[in-house]
Amino acid sequence: MLILLPLFLQTNRLAAQEFVSARIVCGPWIQAAGETEFTVVWETTAPAVSWVEVAPNDSSHFYACERTKYYESVYGRRPVNTLHTVKITGLTKGTAYRYRIYQQALLLNEGNKRMIFGEASGNDLLEHRGYAVTTLNAARPECRFSMLNDIHGNDSLFRNLTKDILRHKNNFMIFNGDMLSQIESPQQIRNGYLKSAGESFAPFLPVYAVRGNHEYRGAASYDYMRYFPTSTGQPYYTFRDGPAFFIALDCGEDKPDSDIRYDGLSLTGRLREEQAAWLKKVVASDEFKAAPVKIVILHMPPAWKDSNWHGMKEIARLFMPILNEAGIDLMLCGHLHRYLFLEKGEAGNSFPILINANQTRVDAVVDSRRIHLSVVDAGGKILHARIINSKLTF
């Protein structure tokens, strides 16, 4: 033992030097934002414990006083992860906050005997004021957002479509499915678009991600919800901003679950059945009924004469009877890789459906009277524009 001790100490000194800090490799990005909360997600180069410090977005320096700390917690313990998810609560609606992220790498883990952590590190507040994000607010007169879909890992296209997004004064962003063709590793999520989002707008604008059929595919597809946590803990959820109530639905796969491509692992038919039961409760809620404008986000549109694959037929069977009676103003879809605008009645729908192409962005401005939609290409040119009058027409 005495002979091995110097070698043990030397080995651990080398490990401590190599992993003196856990660096940020992707992010942060904002998830599950509401009027009084939001969740910060980021990824580090080494396993670490993490926390977020939050301050008002005022003229004070971040170091003017001790700021409130929020810790990542899993069942009462701080986890040691490379993917960090910290929920911030107790906030005020429609209010801007600054935040900074911190992580501290685990250098040595001997269980109850000894744990050694490295140097804590985070975004440098000597260089900038920290990230700023604003909570949602149902009382504001309008909401503004942009939507992307079917990027399929084309990071250069993603960058071109989002390069000026912060100038739009959006309240949030929507990723409406098939952002990758499959998820074989977490690195694909980073390199396909998420690292670019974190370097551009995602630390400042909440992102609402909706799973497409291609996010079901690949060895690492189970990791999708870890990167995009929601307010419900499910791939379907709701949120309210300004006059608009949003319902985000999960489309499931486009083919029957028994298809040989799914290796017997697909149960999306069951998931759609569960969502239909949940959806009935949502549209019966007072919060939904009180919203002047109601918008559905769903990757695959319902089936109609020109497109009627199994998944789309199931959406038409399970979701549309509920939505058609709920006073929906607009459904936003993707999936088809081409632009279509389905007027009321074209697909058994009592509301219009905008289907965005795979190389364009949708910009939306919503107030209590109308929804203004623009479909924009990567060069900033408006290809299509629509104004949808809500039920409260003037």
Alpha carbons 382 and 374: distance in angstroms, whole number: 6
CB 144 within 8 A of CB 41: no
pLDDT of residue 2: 39
Q: What is the pLDDT of residue 109?
A: 59
What's domain 20-134's architecture?
Sandwich (2.60)
pLDDT in the model for residue 104: 85
Q: For 127, list phi and psi in degrees, rounded to 5.
A: -95, -35
pLDDT tens for each residue of 332-374:
999 999 999 999 999 999 999 999 999 999 999 999 999 999 9
Helix (H) or strand (E) segment spanning residue 198: helix 195-200
Q: Copy the structure tokens of residue 38.
A: 């939001």
CATH code reported for the domain at 142-389: 3.60.21.10
pLDDT band at 391 (very low <50, low <70, confident <90, very high): low
Q: What is the pLDDT of residues 216-253, one digit of tens each?
A: 999 999 999 999 999 999 999 999 999 999 999 999 99
HSE toward the beta carbon, residue 192, CA cutoff 13 A: 20
Contact in structure between 68 and 86 (CB atoms under 8 Å)? no
Every domain of the chain with CATH number 3.60.21.10 lies at 142-389
Span(s) in the chain for CATH 2.60.40.10: 20-134
- Residue 274 has phi, psi (to 5 degrees) of -60, -40
Model pTM? 0.91
Q: Which residue has the tokens 């900038």?
A: 128
The two tokens of residue 161 are 């479509």
pLDDT of 7 reads 41
